[in-house]
DNA sequence: CTGCATCCAAGGCGATACTG
DNA sequence: CAGTATCGCCTTGGATGCAG
């Protein structure tokens, strides 16, 4: 839990942020939004490197279309890197960028935040 | 920036999380997702307490319908509290719960993560 | 003042078939 | 193997009018 002083600092920063128009938080959420992107990032966090069909097998329910679209968007946002090897047949490997890996602490804190709440709810029953 | 050891710890937790089915991260993102919820939370972070029409005025472009829906969902998720005073006319005030306020450090870090990236991009030009 | 009911549009998402 | 093309649904969000 953050100290009161830290919270104060955060608050000032947030206050300066404009939630109405383009704000960094919304931009950031947009990048990891969508139905499948967290799944993809999760797989790449675990395996370091992964191929197209590997991802498709591991992410239950995803279609070619969505996997393809999501990967392209993640690449454009520089969360992942696409490496193509022109062998026969073609081999393509996806890995996380530093930016992608830096999401890790954030995802961790989101988990904590969520679990804290659920635990409190359980206890108060 | 987190230490290597911390990252290791985070990674293990994330690895255990199942991204395919219901995972805490997705649940958490769902709660602050939607087009207007961050705007609302931002206003409440700034003003501590806010009435319906005040929010409507401050959040440019939001309609009654969306404000109403978003507020109800945020209340169900226990991020905000709805206080109704049966005066004439009715007065309703919204405030953040502790859970809502605890989002602050998270939002802060999202901002940092996003800005880091943008700055690096600028510098490399 | 604080909403809800209704209807409507746009876009995210998905199924299927096809290609280099 | 690693995708693209096409088409259609369904959810999310928005406009408007009404109500307690």
pLDDT (average), residues A4-20: 71
Contacts within 8 Å (CB) and 24+ apart, B8-15: B10/A104, B10/A105, B10/A107, B10/A108, B11/A45, B11/A104, B13/A108, B13/A111, B14/A42, B14/A45, B14/A104, B14/A107, B14/A108, B14/A111, B15/A45, B15/A46
> Which of A28, A42, A109 lies nearest to residue B114, judging by beta carbons?
A28
Q: What one-character DSSP code corresponds to residue A24?
A: H
Partner-chain contact A103 B113, CB within 8 Å: yes
Burial class (CB in 10 A: 0-12, 13-18, 19+), A73: middle
Q: State whether A110 and B29 contact (CB < 8 Å).
A: yes
Asked if residue A36 keeps its beta carbon closer than 7 A to nucleic acid strand C, the reply is yes
Average pLDDT of the segment spanning B8-34: 79
Nearest to B77 by CA among B21, B27, B25, B20: B27
H or E, element range at A49: strand A49-51
Q: Which of A108, A86, A99, A120 lies closest to B115 in space, CA to CA?
A: A99
Q: Is the peptide bond before A101 cis (omega within 30 degrees of 0)?
A: no
Q: What is the pLDDT, as a whole number, of residue B116?
A: 84
The span from the CA of A92 to the CA of B36, in Å, is 38
Residues 6+ apart with CB under 8 A from B26: A38, B19
Q: Is the CB of B17 under 7 A from strand C?
A: no
Q: Which residues of B touch A123 (CB under 8 A)?
A: none
Contact B110, B103 (CB under 8 A): no
CB contact under 8 A, A60 and B116: no
State whether residue A66 sits within 8 Å of chain B by CB. no
A84: the nucleotide nearest its CA (via C1') is: D2
**According to the model, what pLDDT value does residue A106 have?**
86
Task: Compute chain B's Rg from CA coordinates.
Answer: 18
- Which pLDDT value is given to residue B1? 54
Say which residue, A125 or B117, is predicted with more confidence.
B117
Res A124 pLDDT > 90: no
**What average pLDDT does this structure show over A42-70?**
95
Mean pLDDT calculated for residue range B93-107 = 92
Say whether pLDDT at A125 is over 70. Answer: no
- Asked if residue A27 has pLDDT above 80, the reply is yes
Check whether A108 has a pLDDT greater than 70.
yes
């Amino acid at each position: 839990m953050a100290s009161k002083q830290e919270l104060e600092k955060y608050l000032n920063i947030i206050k300066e942020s404009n939630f109405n128009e383009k704000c960094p938080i919304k931009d950031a959420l947009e990048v990891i939004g969508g139905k499948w992107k967290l799944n993809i990032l999760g797989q790449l966090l675990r395996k370091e490197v992964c191929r197209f069909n590997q991802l498709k097998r591991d992410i239950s329910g995803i279609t070619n279309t969505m996997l393809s679209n999501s990967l392209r968007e993640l690449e454009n946002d520089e969360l992942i890197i696409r490496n193509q090897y022109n062998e026969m047949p073609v081999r393509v490997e996806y890995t996380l960028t530093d930016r992608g890996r830096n999401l890790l602490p954030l995802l961790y804190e989101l988990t904590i935040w969520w679990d804290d709440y659920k635990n409190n709810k359980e206890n108060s029953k």
